[in-house]
């Protein structure tokens, strides 16, 4: 729904390739390093940025993303600092779509109306809120659409043909297909079933379908990009942040570089 | 919101809401299963043979009805209301948890599920689930916070004896809320063959309704027993609240009896201004673990850790129906500190020859405050929802006794 998102997918279509969507947690490992990481993502090859809003209890995420959230919270991250980070990024980059991803409680407590207003003003293009299925559309999805933000829904292997129309009804921007039954960053996707499911879901929506969960390598990304409109990488990137920290858990000079190097590698997979 | 409903017993609505509380805030992967579960539970409720099988098990396996016991010495000591104990600690496995677990396991069998997962805090729900799984030959996996595993060793051993696998939750605060996160993660990964047996009146719809219905046996029995023993309904009900299943089971059948005063007792831990687990008294509405309810959290919506002397009460949330009953002012939610609960625990041992669990000791602490203010013909029922065998190590530790 935002021009930035539509323009991006239109441009990618012209180039005839899939999008690389990169997830990092806002404020991980601290505010300054996090900004450096996010600012370098487009140059490293990211087409869309998913910015995680830290939450203490991310029930659908694996240990890597949970740990990233806790690192950010320990370093003082809040919803306000997340929006501030986005604003700082947007001041220098007007074209890369940014999607805020997380859980409903921090948004609910911030206040839905205020959140939508502030997120839009900061330069946000869409929201992914894991614990808001279509059954709870009135909470945030519909107000977000009215505020001019995309609400990007997760579709999963359990989203069968009967349920798909309900799932896609209020989805915009793109569809995030969760490639495995399970949490982020654990199982590797079964590429055959991903291809079959993307094909099946395409019958229900004209939106781009991006595939994520468990994608770690350029080879996986290349294989997925053959059938899908985009590939999402998350846990592998926050693991790269974790591995780059010193013994005390503090960022080192190589922290942003570690993430950007991995993004560049996976971007090659998407582009060939 | 402030208008009084015709009945307090009709919730939740078709969206699973009690007022603004409840709902289905879960990942998309789980939604198809949750809708299936809702259908399966509806069908089971309409099927006489389901209730018959559950009734048989409750009577002959659990040992129901549990007695309604007049606590004469305690009554004399407090010098006010006539205090009755609903003796749910006499159930097989030592607490009210088994009432709900048997219902859910029968439902899981109807749905053809072969693998059961559960979360547990103090271990009572885990033991009950492991017991029912042993009874029906089902695979059982129980998630328990690493911290709780350490402080509730006897229950961990019990679960293992019963054939369950106990998996430590190592994330976050490593207590009950993290065990719930881990169980939800397991469920997402194994949604096709696994049934999640939730231990309290929380979680996504239909769990709060379903668990409440299975626990209502407590309140229904209390009505009959009080009518038989005193010829009238009780004047007040008191129960401890973590998530709130024993309380909801006692309260629900009385919600429309306006003259019955109802008290839910939360854990005030070290005090409401310090570390506690009183979600209603010290929390605010938010969304966690599939439902909207009162939660302990900071101003940014990050969940904070609860504290209670009782590992069964230190959950940072509460069932959504309790949240609604609080807003409607039908139930009075109060709290008792660790210290008050410990004093009540010791008093009960000495005056009644009953070692209560630390959970109902919180309810008893409130009875000790309330009963002396009431006339001698006031009938007060306290739910003695669990026995204290599991807690003797915690209590000994605090009293400075080496076992």
Question: Does the active-site annotation cover A61?
Answer: yes
User: Of B349, B344, B358, whose CA–CA distance to B314 is shortest?
Assistant: B358
Q: For position B152, what pLDDT does the model report?
A: 86
Q: For position B175, what pLDDT does the model report?
A: 87
- Token pair listed for B81: 């209301």
**ipTM for the predicted complex:** 0.95
Q: For position A37, what pLDDT does the model report?
A: 98
Helix (H) or strand (E) holding A155: strand A154-155
* SS3 sequence of B8-47: CCCCCCCCCEECCEEEEECCHHHHHHHHHHHHHHHHHHCC
* SS3 sequence of A50-81: EEECCCCCCCCCCHHHHHHHHHHHHCCCCHHH
For the four alpha carbons of A54, A56, A61 and A66, in that order, the dihedral sign comes to positive
Q: For position A214, what pLDDT does the model report?
A: 86
Q: For position B134, what pLDDT does the model report?
A: 98
Helix (H) or strand (E) holding A128: strand A126-129
Residues 6+ apart with CB under 8 A from B241: B247, B264, B265, B266, B313, B318, B322, B333
Q: B300 vs A106: CB contact, 8 Å cut-off? A: yes
Residues 6+ apart with CB under 8 A from A148: A1, A2, A120
Q: Which residues of chain A have pLDDT under 70?
A: 1
* Neighbouring-strand partners of residue A22: A49, A233
User: Of B125, B362, B352, B358, whose CA–CA distance to B238 is shortest?
Assistant: B362
| E-assigned strand segments in B200-299 | 236-241, 261-269, 284-288, 290-295
What does the alpha-carbon distance between residue A62 and residue A53 come to, in Å, rounded to a whole number? 15
Helix (H) or strand (E) holding B180: helix B176-189
Chain B CA closest to residue A180: B189
* Neighbouring-strand partners of residue B17: B22
Q: How many CB pairs under 8 A join A and B?
A: 118
Q: B28 vs A109: CB contact, 8 Å cut-off? A: no
What does the alpha-carbon distance between residue A204 and residue A173 come to, in Å, rounded to a whole number? 15
Chain A: give the shortest CA distance to residue B316, in Å: 12
Q: For position B167, what pLDDT does the model report?
A: 98
Residue in A66, A133, A178 closest to B24 by CB? A133
Which chain A residues contact residue B185 at CB under 8 A? 59-60, 62, 182-183
Which chain B residues contact residue A156 at CB under 8 A? 27-29
Interface test with B, best of A77, A105, A181 (most B CBs within 10 A): A105
Q: A106 vs B31: CB contact, 8 Å cut-off? A: no
Q: What is the largest CA-CA distance in chain A?
A: 51
Any idea what DSSP says for residue B297? B
| E-assigned strand segments in B107-199 | 115-120, 139-145, 165-169, 194-196
Question: Does the active-site annotation cover A50?
Answer: yes
Does residue A186 sit in helix, strand or coil? coil
Reading phi first (left if > 0) and then psi (alpha if -120 to 50, else beta), residue B65 is in beta
Q: For position A184, what pLDDT does the model report?
A: 86
Place of tokens 């009460």: B313
Helix (H) or strand (E) holding A129: strand A126-129
Q: In this structure, are strands B21-25 and A98-102 parallel, antiparallel, or unpaired?
A: unpaired
Tell me what the pLDDT averaged over chain B comes to: 96
Running along chain B, 403 residues long, what does each successive block of 10 average in pLDDT?
82 97 96 95 98 98 98 98 98 98 98 97 95 98 94 92 97 88 93 96 98 98 98 98 97 98 97 94 96 98 93 91 98 98 98 97 98 98 96 93 90
Q: A109 vs B300: CB contact, 8 Å cut-off? A: yes
Q: For position A2, what pLDDT does the model report?
A: 80
Cα dihedral B344/B348/B354/B355 (nearest 10):
30
Chain A: give the shortest CA distance to residue B18, in Å: 14
Q: In this structure, are strands A209-212 and A230-233 parallel, antiparallel, or unpaired?
A: parallel
Chain A: give the shortest CA distance to residue B4, in Å: 25
Q: For position B171, what pLDDT does the model report?
A: 85
User: Of B304, B151, B333, B316, whose CA–CA distance to B240 is shortest?
Assistant: B333
CA angle B139-B142-B144, nearest 5°?
Answer: 170
Chain A: give the shortest CA distance to residue B189, in Å: 4
Q: For position B186, what pLDDT does the model report?
A: 95
Place of tokens 């309904």: B233
Q: For position B30, what pLDDT does the model report?
A: 93
Q: For position A100, what pLDDT does the model report?
A: 98
What does the alpha-carbon distance between residue A54 and residue A105 come to, in Å, rounded to a whole number? 11
Within 13 Å, how many C-alpha atoms sit on residue B184's CB side? 26
Q: For position B1, what pLDDT does the model report?
A: 52
Q: For position B5, what pLDDT does the model report?
A: 86
Q: A56 vs B299: CB contact, 8 Å cut-off? A: no
Which chain B residues contact residue A107 at CB under 8 A? 301
Read off the pLDDT of residues B12-54 as tens digits, 9 standing for 90 and up: 999 999 999 999 999 999 999 999 999 999 999 999 999 999 9
Q: A154 vs B27: CB contact, 8 Å cut-off? A: yes
Q: For position B122, what pLDDT does the model report?
A: 86
Q: For position A185, what pLDDT does the model report?
A: 83
What does the alpha-carbon distance between residue B49 and residue B55 come to, in Å, rounded to a whole number? 10
What does the alpha-carbon distance between residue B154 and residue B157 come to, in Å, rounded to a whole number? 5
């Amino acid at each position: 729904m935002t021009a930035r998102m539509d323009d991006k997918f239109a441009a990618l279509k012209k180039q005839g390739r899939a999008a690389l969507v990169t997830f990092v947690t806002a404020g991980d490992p601290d505010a300054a390093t996090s900004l450096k990481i996010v600012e370098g993502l487009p140059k490293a090859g990211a087409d869309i940025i998913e910015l995680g809003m830290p939450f203490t209890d991310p029930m659908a995420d694996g240990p890597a993303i949970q740990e990233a959230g806790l690192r950010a919270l320990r370093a003082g991250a809040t919803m306000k600092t997340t929006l501030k980070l986005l604003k700082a990024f947007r001041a220098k980059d007007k074209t890369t779509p940014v999607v805020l991803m997380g859980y409903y409680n921090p948004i609910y407590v911030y206040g839905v109306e205020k959140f939508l207003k502030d997120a839009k003003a900061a330069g946000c293009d869409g929201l992914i809120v894991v614990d808001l299925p279509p059954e709870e559309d009135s909470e945030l999805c519909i107000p977000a659409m009215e505020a001019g933000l995309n609400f990007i829904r997760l579709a999963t292997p359990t989203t069968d043909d009967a349920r798909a129309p309900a799932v896609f009804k209020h989805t915009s921007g793109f569809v995030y297909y969760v490639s495995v039954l399970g949490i982020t960053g654990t199982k590797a996707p079964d590429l055959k079933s991903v291809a079959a499911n993307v094909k099946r879901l395409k019958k229900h929506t004209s939106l781009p379908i991006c595939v994520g969960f468990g994608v770690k390598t350029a080879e996986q990304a290349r294989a997925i990009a053959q059938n899908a409109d985009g590939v999402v990488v998350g846990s592998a990137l926050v693991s790269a942040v974790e591995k780059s920290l010193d013994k005390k858990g503090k960022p080192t000079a190589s922290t942003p570089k570690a993430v950007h190097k991995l993004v560049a590698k996976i971007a090659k997979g998407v582009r060939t | 919101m402030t208008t009084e409903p015709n009945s307090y017993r009709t919730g939740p609505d078709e969206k699973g809401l009690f007022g603004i509380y409840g709902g289905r805030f879960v990942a998309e992967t789980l939604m198809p299963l949750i809708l299936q579960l809702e259908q399966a539970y509806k069908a089971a409720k309409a099927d006489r043979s389901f209730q018959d099988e559950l009734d048989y098990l409750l009577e002959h396996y659990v040992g129901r009805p549990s007695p309604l016991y007049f606590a004469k010495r305690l009554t004399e000591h407090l010098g006010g209301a006539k205090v009755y104990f609903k003796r749910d600690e006499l159930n097989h496995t030592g607490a009210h948890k088994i009432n709900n677990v048997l219902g859910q396991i029968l439902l899981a069998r109807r749905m053809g599920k072969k693998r059961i997962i559960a979360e547990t805090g103090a271990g009572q729900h885990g033991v009950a689930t492991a017991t029912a799984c042993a009874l029906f030959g089902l695979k059982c996996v129980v998630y328990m916070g690493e911290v709780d595993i350490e402080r509730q060793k006897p229950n961990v051993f019990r679960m293992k004896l019963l054939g369950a696998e106990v998996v430590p939750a190592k994330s976050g605060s490593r207590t009950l809320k993290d065990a719930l996160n881990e169980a939800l993660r397991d469920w997402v990964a194994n949604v096709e063959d696994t049934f999640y047996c939730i231990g309290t009146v929380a979680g996504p719809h239909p769990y709060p309704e379903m668990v409440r219905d299975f626990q209502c046996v407590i309140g229904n029995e209390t009505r009959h027993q009080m009518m038989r023993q005193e010829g009238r309904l009780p004047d007040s009900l008191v129960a401890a609240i973590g998530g709130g299943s024993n309380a909801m089971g006692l309260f629900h059948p009385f919600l429309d009896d306006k003259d019955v005063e109802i008290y839910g007792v939360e854990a005030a831990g070290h005090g409401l201004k310090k570390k506690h687990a009183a979600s209603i008294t010290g929390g605010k509405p938010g969304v966690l673990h599939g439902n909207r309810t009162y939660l302990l959290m900071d101003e940014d919506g990050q969940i904070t850790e609860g504290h209670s002397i009782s590992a069964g009460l230190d959950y940072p949330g509460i069932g959504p129906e309790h949240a609604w009953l609080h807003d409607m002012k039908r139930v009075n939610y109060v709290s008792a500190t660790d210290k008050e609960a410990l004093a009540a625990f010791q008093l009960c041992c000495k005056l009644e020859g009953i070692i209560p669990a630390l959970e109902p000791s919180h309810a008893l602490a409130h009875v000790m405050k309330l009963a002396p203010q009431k006339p001698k013909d006031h009938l007060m029922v306290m739910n003695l929802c669990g026995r204290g065998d599991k807690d003797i190590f915690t209590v000994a530790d605090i009293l400075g006794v080496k076992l």
